Amino acid sequence: MTIATDLDGVYAVNTISDYDGPLQKKSDGQTEIIDGKTHRIDGAGCEWNSTFTWIDDTKAEVLMTSIADPLNADPDFLLARPDGSPTSDPVTYETTLKVMRKGDKVQMTGTINYGNETVILTMRKNG
């Protein structure tokens, strides 16, 4: 597996979640992949560090590993553990993203299953 540096660029990050509890995330926004890695602060002040690694030779799928760290997030913001309980500790999410290309446009989509929550993640390259 190799780091997905050919995906480098600026992406819009959009999520759809079935979570309906008190710990609403504000993870949508924008991020930049550089050398197969991202670092960003979301709308709640939660820090996200992600890596993207090719899974297969066809380059149609990447493994995304994201660590969300709420240490400097809004005072009322917490993440959820796999059992659904709130935590201010970092949480690691991992999923396989399907990579689709048309010319210079790139979109990556996948599903994150974590505890009782399912999140559909879409990343669209802006530049």
Tell me yes or no: is domain 5-125 CATH 3.30.1490.
no
Domain ranges in the chain are 5-125
Q: What is the pLDDT of residues 84-105, one digit of tens each?
A: 888 999 999 999 999 998 888 9
| Burial class of 1 by CB neighbour count within 10 A (0 to 12, 13 to 18, 19+) | exposed
pTM for the whole thing? 0.89
Mean pLDDT within 38-47: 94
pLDDT above 90 for 66:
yes
Phi and psi angles of residue 6, each rounded to the nearest 5 degrees, phi first = -75, -5
